[in-house]
Structure 1
């Protein structure tokens, strides 16, 4: 009898310890219905700094299945909660890119963050999808701790996805309302933002930008956007294609635009705003619109959207006038539109 009581005591203590462990792992805030992860989401492993707390943006428990929806980025990104507005880029190392130079890539990234703060200051977040070539302690930690609007997303467990397609991942993120795919080496400009604002003021799912005579595809890898919040079914379909190993391996290297043409444009063309300054006659199955603002003056360096820094030489354009039919109807005098 005593032995049985002793066994019961051991089991009771063990069960109690397990319960304490579970409670220690999760802090349930009953007043807000929010489940907070017990570990410190503000500090990455190996970091000496901590990021700002996100008390007001933490993910609520869903009433249907009582679990936290996870972002397709990081624990910190998950804690931001729903309704995220994302600008996504890919940053990948020498394994995928022989021309990779870390110092140059970091310089471009810092320039892009400066652009973000000026052009997209209204709660847009820059997500940097990367591999292990990007060191946490020396690169990621200082940038994330300094810039609350930048999240790094490690793709090491998804390396079967071609690097230039990593940046498309937010299209399937359940916490993202707006995503835009951009290039690391291309600046964010006021001309681009004006076009984005036209898109966001509409009810269209997709956005496509074409601002050069050679932008002759439906969607460019670094010049398109999607609003997952308007159609979660299409959002999941796009993510399924990105995560399909047999499918996605066909689109390595520079084939990201082929992936968009083959697997995203079929959804996009039914609900898209396409701004096109040169190829408006070639509608790709959907009529385009002129850009809402005139092209910058010839002495400015941001001569077209999608250019790689430093791009245009002051005083010389890389192309001629835009066709009259591609100009706004109320501004036929915009020779460079």
Structure 2
């Protein structure tokens, strides 16, 4: 078809030797204009060279056949068959393969289609719900909210004015009192619909070249992966994503929340009682905010770039059936910290004294200023959570059972050596494989030490 069009348009020009360069130049311009994105530029060039092959093939093949196979039709037939096979083979190689798993690609496409149809309807419904919620708030609750804000801001001012206040408990403003009286969850208006006694999995999601440039480049992909896994493994838990400095619109948030149903996006800028905590609380700490939420009963802290395995889920289920307050996991030789920031959990309602003490330290600007390093969140847990947790926790440890005598083995073996709890996606062998476990840390003495 391209051949005939060129013949009709250019007539004698088509038979000159410059027709090839005209075709290539026109095709490249066409690809540059219509296929701006990198993924489409490759498709455009595939179409371009396929068309070029269509034009050249009728001229080149007869010349080759007459030149080399004029007296041997069998060799000519064999050559033509091989040539056709090579064309098909290289044509298939030019088809761009997907850069993400098919399941996630289908999910992303479905989300995009659904967004085009429902985004206006969703925004309208949410606006109506917001109006109804505001109308349902009584004057008494509004007045209490104003008083709480004033008291909290007063707490911030007085806390910074003098260190002597921290030495005198009678004069120190206790933030836990205000948080316990705060009438809303420390997340979003959507999360209030789930009521009290929520079981929450909290993660921090933000873009920061300082923390982890690899995570920054894939933070959006990891977020969808984690939500999908949590929905499957923890169907009765809520996922709270505490985010800031994230390239996401409100429309995209509404779309994801309505699609998955098990997730609440929590902008740290929009939690009124906390004001803007980003200027003194690092992003890694934001996932600890639900500890201060009176709507939360059981809390888990996780890393958004670590997948959820059945090995982890079974250990959590064992802990939930026990009387232990804390849940701690260590599944790698480098997991030598007492508590890993993304591998622990807490039954908040079991000990209000512990909870209030942790919350008081968590929202102290003076204390947090000392934990601004890359491992600041784990250092904070070591100093302010571990003293409570070491004798009231169920600890699962594959390598350091000698350092932590109260630790026990995981309930099942790993699927592979690289799929340990807390591994970084995609959890392949070259990513810090843990190696064999000590014999004394095995669940069964005949267990494979590489899959302990």
Q: In 1, Cα distance between the equivalents of 2:331 and 2:125?
A: 40
Quote the offset at 1:248 in angstroms: 1.1
Structure 2 residue aligned with 1:325, among 432, 437, 440? 440
Query: Counterparts of 2:434 and 2:397 in 1: how far apart (Å)?
Result: 14
Q: What runs of 5+ residues in structure 1 fail to find an aligned partner?
A: 1-43, 54-61
The residue that corresponds to 2:325 in the other structure is: 205
- Aligned residue number for residue 387 of structure 2: 266
Aligned residue for 1:251, secondary structure, equals: coil
SS of 1:213's equivalent in the other structure is coil
Residue 73 of structure 1 is matched in structure 2 by: 187
The answer to which structure, 1 or 2, has the higher relative contact order (CA under 8 A, 6+ apart) is 1
- Kindly state the Cα deviation for residue 138 of structure 1 after the two structures are TM-superposed: 4.3
Deviations 1:138-170 (A, max 9, x none): 432221121211011111221121111111111
Q: Which residue of 208, 221, 224 maps to 1:94?
A: 208
Is structure 2 residue 425 aligned with structure 1 residue 304? no
Q: Which residue of 2 aligns with 1:216?
A: 336
Q: Is the 8 A contact 1:179 1:225 kept in 2?
A: yes
- Alpha-carbon separation, structure 2, partners of 1:192 and 1:73: 26
Q: How do residues 46-61 of structure 1 correspond to structure 2 at under 5 angstroms? A: 48=123, 50=125
Distance 2:334 2:211 in 1: 23
Structure 1 CA distance for aligned equivalents of residues 299 and 433 of structure 2: 29
Which residue number in structure 1 is paired with residue 242 of structure 2? Answer: 129
The 1:327–1:245 alpha-carbon spacing in structure 2 relative to 1, beyond 3 Å, is same
Q: Which residue of 1 aligns with 2:71?
A: none
How many Å separate the matches in 2 of 1:212 and 1:79? 39
Matched length: 276
Written as runs of structure 1 = structure 2, the 5 A alignment for 1:215-234 is 215-234=335-354
| Post-superposition offset of 1:134 | 4.3
Residues 190/79 of structure 1: CA separation in 2 closer, same or farther (3 Å cut): same
Length-normalised TM-score, structure 2:
0.56
Alignment of 1:6-21 (within 5 A): none
Question: In the alignment, which residue of structure 1 is the partner of 2:40?
Answer: none
1:163 pairs with 2:313: no
Q: 1:18 matched to which residue of 2? A: none
Structure 2 unmatched runs, 5+ = 1-118, 130-140, 145-180, 270-275
Instruction: Measure the CA separation in 2 of the matches of 1:241 and 1:151.
Output: 25
CA positional deviation for 1:47: 6.6
Determine the structure 2 residue equivalent to 1:13.
Answer: none
Output one character per residue of 1:156-210: Cα deviation in whole Å (capped at 9) or x when no partner.
Answer: 2211211111111112211111111000100011100011011111011101000
Please identify the structure whose Cα radius of gyration is greater.
2
Higher strand share: 1
C-alpha offsets along residues 248-284 of structure 1, whole Å, 9 cap, x if unaligned?
A: 122123311101001110111121000000100001x
Alignment check: 8 A CA contact 1:195 1:292 kept = yes
**1:49-98, Cα deviation, whole Å (9 max, x unpaired):** 647x9xxxxxxxx9xx9x77321111221231111011110011237647
CA RMSD of aligned residues (A): 3.0
